[in-house]
Each structure stands twice: as C-alpha cells, then as structure tokens.
Amino acid sequence: MLVLGFMTGTSLDAVDMAVLETDGERIDRFGPAGERKLSDSLRKVVLEATRQALAWPRGAPEPPIFGHVAEMVAEEHYLAAESFLAGHGLSWPDLDLIGMHGQTVLHERPKGGVPGRTVQLGDGAMLARLCGRPVAFDFRTADVAAGGEGAPLAPIYHLARARASGLKAPLAVLNIGGVANVTFWSAKDSGDQDLAAFDTGPGNGMIDLLVQARGAGRFDAGGKYASVGRVDEAVVRALLAHPYFQAAAPKSLDRYDFSLAALDALQLEDAAATLVAFMAEGVKLAFQTVGQTPAEVIVCGGGRHNPQIMKALRARLPVPVNTAEDHGWRGDSIEAEAFAYLAARTFHGLPISFPNTTGVDRPMTGGRIARP
C-alpha cells in the first residue's frame, strides 16, 4: 500500500508528512517527506482548545471548541498535502490510505484505578471526504479504554525502521518532541515483545513553555539561551523528585505535567540550561528503569536540532548517542512515517500497542477508518 502519514506535535510547529509503501509489517519503499508550517490562526485556536481541555472536568460534555478545531485540523492537513503531493508528482488517487494522528490537546495517564484520557483533534471523516481516500485516525483511544497509557505508539515503527536499515539489537530510539520517549529493542530478537517503551520526561515542551513565559520567543532556537547558561544541579534534583520518575513503566506524560515554578529564581539562560540537563537525566533514568544498556541511542525528533540537548545526552548517557541522520533516517519525519505505518497496520487489523509499550494486557489493534 502507498500510505501518506501526517503528524502534528504539541510544539505546534508544522504538519509533518511522509509517504511509505508498506503492508504494516515490511517497509518496501520510502516515498517523499516534508512539512508545512502551521498557520498562526490554527496555532492560536489550538492553544485555546488546549487551555479548555486542561480545565475540562471528567464526565462533563466536551468543550464545543473541540469540534471546530477538529475540522480546522483536517482542512489544514488537506491543504498541506495538496501542495506537498503536487510538488512530488503525486496526487490523491495515487494513495491507498491516509494516516492522521491529529492534534493532541490533552493526555492524562491512568492513575489509581482511574482510566486515562487522551484527545487528538482531527476530523477523519472530513479529511476522507476532502481527499477522496480512506483515512485511519483516532489511534490512541482504544488503548486508553482498555486500561493502557495510549502512548507511545511509535515503538513498533522504530523496530521496523531499524530492521529496514539492517540494524541489530540491543538498540534504543529516542524521540524528543514536546515530551521525550524511548524505545528499547532487546537482544532476544524474537518479535514485537522484545520492545519496551515509555515517556522519559519532558522533551522540548518544557523549554518552549519557559521561553514563551519569559517573553523570549516560541522556543530556544539552536540552544541559544541554554548554551550560555549554567546548570543548577539542585534544581535538576528537585525536578527529578517528581513522582513520575519513581513510577513503573510503561508510563506516559502530557507536556503540561511539570511545573516551571522550580525555575522561577533562575535567569532565562540558566533555566534553559537546567531544563536541558533535566531532560537528559530523565533519559538516563530510563536506562535504570528497564535495566538494560543498548549498544547505541538513535535520536530523532526536533530536539536533536538543539546542540545543547545533544551535548547533554552525550555527556550524561553511558552509550554512544547518534542522530537519525547518522543511519540515513529522516529525523524530522519519523513520526509522520510512523503514522503511515500504523495506518497500514490499522487497515490490516494488526496490533499497534503492546503490554511493554502502553501497558495493555495483550497486543491491541487500534485506530478507526473513515471512508469517503
């Protein structure tokens, strides 16, 4: 199948797109990949939907803004793909399937016997009507309804991508988006159950929120602020005292789960450097959580563009740290590729989440298919 995958992260930067030829097990061909920056109007309304989602009481009707944003997200995806496909000599009829993750505005992990909640906005039926192709979407809610974390979902794709590159276990793939998550592929190599995965802690998201709160932009471009700051190790230790780091894996996070209050006394530069160190220490703790040391860590996602993040990871982790590009991967497109792959698995009824990745009690299918 030729599948177009979409991903929009909590950084609200862009619609990422990637085309794969895959049956949901093998990857037969990597098609084009690209992005389109989100419009300011969509970014503004998504931030308002996120604010309302965070204040949304359990059991109450969902905020009306959700439906409006879901339609806006679908339209934004359609417009992004129109120019993307045309630029690569493709059109909608060339595609067998679309995979749309949608825009996350809320993610709450299960806690104390209370099920989690997760909301990704994107009107799959509307997108199917616009593009005339079937659309796989709503990948997380079935897992959450079954008691799972609903995240991370990319691990099964990380395994497929590593195998397509001829890589061998033991291996770790670290994705640094708004939240950082890691996939561990153990050396047994007996199938999907050799995967363990979970969110390690904040990724770029907490740094973005810091910079925005201080009126210094949307993010720390190139690690400009962190590069001249000093790490406050006492604040790092205080942040690591959060109960999340003592919780058993699998486990997941929302980018808003951690407070910036511990950084209030620090100048912007020192606060940014401290958050970089905190992110790296969260990854280091992940190695202790799983009790295994991979041969290397492959870093993908936007965080690898921050030289200070890469420097901190290399200084604090006990194994070689390489970028996706070091292995010929498209580091900015891994998540979009993943949702193309997961769309194919959804279409074929294959599992997309597993006991060691989201905490469900058995491998589970997920996602829904909207047809034009």
The per-residue pLDDT for range 134-186, each reduced to its tens digit, is 999 999 999 999 999 999 999 999 999 999 999 999 999 999 999 999 999 98
- Say whether both 142 and 182 belong to one domain: no
- What integer pLDDT is reported at residue 255 of this predicted model? 87
Integer CA distances (angstroms), 290 to 110, 157, 251, 266, 283, in order:
20, 20, 12, 33, 11
Q: Does residue 161 belong to any structural domain of this protein?
A: no
Looking at the structure, do residues 107 and 199 belong to the same domain, yes or no? no
The answer on 340 and 300 residing in a single domain is no
- pLDDT at position 291 is 82
pLDDT at 42: 95
Residue of 113, 101, 49 lying closest to 76 (CA atoms): 101
Encoding tokens for residue 355? 């006991």
Q: What is the pLDDT of residues 303-336, one digit of tens each?
A: 999 999 999 999 999 999 999 999 999 999 999 9
Domain range for 51 is 2-151+333-370
Residues 252 and 283 in one domain: yes
Residue 284 lies in a domain: yes
- Decide if pLDDT at 359 tops 90: yes
Residue 190 has pLDDT above 80, yes or no: no
- Whether 61 has a pLDDT exceeding 60, the answer reads yes
Q: Do both 321 and 180 map to the same domain?
A: yes
- Per-residue pLDDT at 191 exceeds 80: no
Are residue 194 and residue 304 in the same domain, yes or no?
Answer: yes
The domain tally of the chain equals 2
Give the per-residue pLDDT at 299: 98
pLDDT given for residue 4 in this prediction: 99
* Residue 192 reports pLDDT greater than 80: no
| Domain co-membership, 134 together with 39 | yes
Tell me whether residue 158 is in a domain. Answer: no
Q: Average pLDDT of 9-24?
A: 95
What is the tens place of the pLDDT at every residue in 65-104? 999 999 999 999 999 999 999 999 999 999 999 999 999 9
**Is residue 157 assigned to a domain?**
no
Instruction: Decide: 338 and 157 in contact? Cβ < 8 Å.
Output: yes
**Band (372; pLDDT cuts 50, 70, 90):** very high
- pLDDT tens digits, 208-252: 999 999 999 999 999 999 999 999 999 999 999 999 999 999 999
Does 160 reside within a domain? no
**What rounded mean pLDDT belongs to the chain?**
95
278: Cβ contacts below 8 Å, ≥ 6 apart: 201, 202, 206, 235, 236, 239, 240
Does residue 352 share a domain with residue 313?
no
Q: Of 327, 345, 360, which residue is a domain's last?
A: 327
pTM as predicted: 0.96
Task: Determine which helix (DSSP H) or strand (DSSP E) holds 42, and give its type and residue range.
Answer: helix 40-54
Strands (E), the chain: 2-8, 14-22, 27-37, 97-108, 117-121, 135-137, 171-176, 179-185, 195-202, 297-300, 321-323, 368-370
For residue 361, being part of any structural domain is answered with yes
Q: Tell me the pLDDT band of 292, cut-offs 50, 70 and 90.
A: confident
156 within a domain of the structure (yes/no): no
Query: Do 248 and 344 fall within a single domain?
Result: no
Using pLDDT thresholds of 50, 70 and 90, give the confidence band for residue 131. Answer: very high
d(CA 211, CA 37): 20
Go through 25-49 and write b for each residue having 16 or more CB atoms within 10 A of its CB, e for each that does not: eebeebbbbbbbebeeebeebbeeb
Is the domain of 19 the same as that of 126? Answer: yes
- Is residue 251 in some structural domain? yes
- Whether 27 has a pLDDT exceeding 90, the answer reads yes
241 Cβ neighbours under 8 A, 6+ residues apart: none
Domain of residue 190, CATH code: 3.30.420.40
Q: What is the pLDDT of residue 287?
A: 87
pLDDT at 189: 52
CA–CA separation, 166 vs 178, rounded Å?
Answer: 29
Question: How many whole angstroms separate alpha carbon 242 and alpha carbon 229?
Answer: 23
Q: Are 319 and 220 within one domain?
A: yes
Residue 233, amino acid = E
Q: Is 15 helix (H, G, I), strand (E, B) or coil?
A: strand
Bridge-based pairing state of the strands 2-8 and 27-37: unpaired
| 175 and 220 assigned to the same domain | yes
Q: How confident is the model at residue 358 (pLDDT cuts 50, 70, 90)?
A: very high
Residue 327 confidence (pLDDT): 97
pLDDT at residue 193, as a whole number: 57
Tokens of 253: 């996070």
* Mean pLDDT on 359-370: 96
